[in-house]
Structure 1
Amino acid sequence: MANERSRIPNCIERLHALHTGIEADVPRPVQANAVSIETFASQVTDHPTTIPEAFLIACRGEEYVGLTYLRRVPGLPYILSQALTGVTRQARGLGIATALKLAGIEWARAQGIQEIRTWNSQRSPLMISINERFGFIREVAMCEFHKDLSE
């Protein structure tokens, strides 16, 4: 993203649209609300855990079709968090998420990072398989429970 912001004037707006579309497809117990462009811009440019060089974008021509980004973990300088890896619906099945995940791993390795942590829904078997292919190890999971009190 660091180079993209200087090259493309509306980079943040385009990334927000991409991120919003990808986030909408992430399986969750409760669907997350889309963040505003202002909140997104602040999160990807000003947040202390943000690493602009580790916000990687996949393009098809000038179209943004995928992203992955790594974040610092406060107090743990040799560990990064892989916040999101995703691809637009139209570009899925082409190996883009795999390439993005690999690029993130290679970037982290080059920086001397010792560990990357990530999280997946069990309802996202394709991303789980990508993570396992790269050697991510499953940890003990937590079950989340919800009780609808409106009935």
Structure 2
Amino acid sequence: ESSLDLTGYDPEQYQDEIDRVLAQNLRIVTLTEFRQEDADADYKVWELEREVCPDMPWTDPISIPEFDIYKKHVLAHPKFNPDSWFLVLDGNHITGLNNLWKSEIEKGINTGLTGVRRKYRRKGIATALKHTCLTWARNQDYEWIRTDNVDTNTDMLSINTRVGFKFMPAWLVYEKII
């Protein structure tokens, strides 16, 4: 787990990284905005997650449920806020996603999935999405943000370190199979 103190985060310092993505004829929108443009927005987000999650290193394989279940468990979750879900679009095609989830601890927010389709990787999209989320969180008066990564997810750990996340003490999770 890593944390970033948003009170010291300066969005202006990172605007160039966002501008580089926008210069590729891509655009960054919230899920709320995309829903207004595209009646299939939720389905397209689900499709993106189904594509990118198998590539993500994690302690247990990540599987995305069927769309009807996804809608109930993710899009109808009490901590879900479509204004804190950011998408990079190429036309009407989602290339990447980064989302935030309300925290149970006051003044804080948690990151969720950061994922980019294979064809669009290594173009700065994940970093631009991170900065967009951090800027949004800071503008909403959150004081800190947390993220979870496994140590084998070196690409995301590198992005998080460059952005300013600091490692927190590690957690050990044990599972007893009976």
TM-score, normalization by structure 2: 0.77
* Alignment root-mean-square deviation, CA: 1.8
Q: Which runs of 4+ in 1 moved over 3 A?
A: 143-149
Instruction: Pick closer, same or farther for the CA change 1:47–1:147 going to 2, 3 Å.
Output: closer
Q: 1:21 aligns with which of 41, 44, 51?
A: 51
Per the alignment, residue 142 of structure 1 pairs with 171
1:114 corresponds to 2:143: yes
Partners of 2:32 and 2:130 in 1: CA distance? 18
Number of residue equivalences: 148
Deviations 1:51-106 (A, max 9, x none): 110000011122111000000012x2311010111101111000000000000000
1:52 corresponds to 2:82: yes
Unaligned runs of 5+ in 1: none
Deviations 1:29-64 (A, max 9, x none): 321222121222234432111111000001112211
Q: Larger helix proportion, structure 1 or 2?
A: 2
Per the alignment, residue 40 of structure 1 pairs with 70
Partners of 2:142 and 2:177 in 1: CA distance? 42
1:105 corresponds to 2:129: no
1:72 corresponds to 2:102: yes
Q: 1:30 aligns with which of 43, 47, 60?
A: 60
Per the alignment, residue 117 of structure 2 pairs with 88
Partners of 1:128 and 1:85 in 2: CA distance? 11
TM-score, normalization by structure 1: 0.90
- Provide the secondary structure at the position in 2 that maps to 1:23: helix
Worse overlay, 126-135 or 40-49:
40-49
- Provide the secondary structure at the position in 1 that maps to 2:84: strand
Tell me if structure 1 keeps the 8 A contact 2:53–2:63.
no
Unaligned runs of 5+ in 2: 1-30
Percent identity reads: 28
Which amino acid in the other structure matches residue 80 of structure 2? T
Partners of 1:61 and 1:23 in 2: CA distance? 22
1:131 corresponds to 2:160: yes
